Amino acid sequence: MTAEPALVAEGRHLVEQAGQRGIPLRLLGGTAVWIHSSPRAREVLGRAYPDVDLVTRPQQGRGLRELLQALGYQPERTFNAVHGARRLLYHAPGGGHHLDVFLGRFEMSHQLDLAPRLEVEAVTIPAAELLLTKLQVAELNRKDVSDAVMLLLDHELGDADGPGLLNVARIAELCAGDWGLHTTVSDNLVQVGARLDQLLPQPDLRAQVPARVAALEAALLARPKTLRWKARARAGRRIRWYETPEEVSR
């Protein structure tokens, strides 16, 4: 059995410590994907986790700052002064890793408001939003594809949240309100399908994922779209539909 990576354990510890102070803090990113995955998926698709990604509500920012500094984490002062209303960076004691903390919204290629469903799960954000944080990447890399496949491999598709479930209704709802997000996610599902042979040489594992990719694609198409979605769709790809996240100095 694959041992729990040190930063996954550290992430759990931070969530627990925050909870004791009444701060709803949740993991996202690779450490959260690892927690959601089976031992077999971890063995095949697990990777190095160099940092810890977290999210809490904006109004909890002050309390979280106090907690992190009490635990010995050092703030990236210039970054936090500029971006602190939306995002915080902290360095671990000794500089071994850093924390990337989102306040309410996850803002990269697209924006995802994570605050409303922050307490659906006890340690991580819900699996649906976790998959979207991977599929919203406009310039998808191998790491993001691998994490997305880990989630699709170990989650049945459904219309609710729960252990081993991926809430497709939630994903479709968010994409139906945002043409840009819908377009990037749809493009990336095609990429996920195309890269399965590279990531999963084991036929028994690979066989489970294409049907889930196809079902997710079908759910995105079937969901009725909002007026906002339809208005943006008229311009289509002639106008860039995603943001290019700025590089963050660690």
185 within 8 A of 133, measured Cβ to Cβ: no
SS (H, E, C) 156-188: EEECCCCCCEEEHHHHHHHHHCCHHHHHHHHHH
Q: Answer yes or no: is 73 within a domain.
A: yes
Residue with the two structure tokens 């990447």: 137
Query: Structure pTM?
Result: 0.95
Q: How far is CA 146 from CA 11, 132, 140, 161, 182, in A?
A: 20, 13, 10, 22, 20
86, part of any domain: yes
The DSSP-derived string for 24-66 is --EEEHHHHHHHHS-HHHHHHH-----SEEEEE-GGGHHHHHH
- In this prediction, residue 248 carries a pLDDT of 63
Per-residue pLDDT tens digits for 2-47? 789 999 999 999 999 999 999 999 999 999 999 999 999 999 999 9
* pLDDT tens-digit map of 44-95: 999 999 999 999 999 999 999 999 999 999 999 999 999 999 999 999 988 8
pLDDT one-digit tens code per residue, 168-226:
999 999 999 999 999 999 999 999 999 998 998 888 888 889 999 999 999 999 999 99
Per-residue confidence (pLDDT) for residue 7, from 0 to 100: 97
DSSP 8-state assignment for residue 10: H
Q: Which domain holds residue 219?
A: 6-238
Give domain status of residue 244, yes or no.
no
Residue 66 inside a domain? The answer is yes
* Confidence category of residue 247, pLDDT binned at 50, 70, 90: low
Does 111 map to a domain?
yes
What integer pLDDT is reported at residue 249 of this predicted model? 53
Within a domain: residue 150? yes
Residue 165's pLDDT is what?
A: 96
Mean pLDDT over 140-163 rounds to 95
Question: In this structure, is residue 247 part of a structural domain?
Answer: no
Structural domain count, the chain: 1
Q: What angle do CA 45, 160, 209 make, to 5 degrees?
A: 30
What pLDDT score does 20 carry? 97
Residue type, 94: G
In a domain, 36, yes or no: yes
Element housing 134 (H / E): helix 127-135
> What mean pLDDT comes out for the span 153-164?
94
Mean pLDDT over all residues of the chain? 95
Sheet holding 26-28, edge to edge: 26-28, 52-56, 98-103, 87-91, 74-75
How far, in Å, CA of 42 to CA of 3, rounded? 9
Q: Name the pLDDT band for 118 (thresholds 50, 70, 90).
A: very high
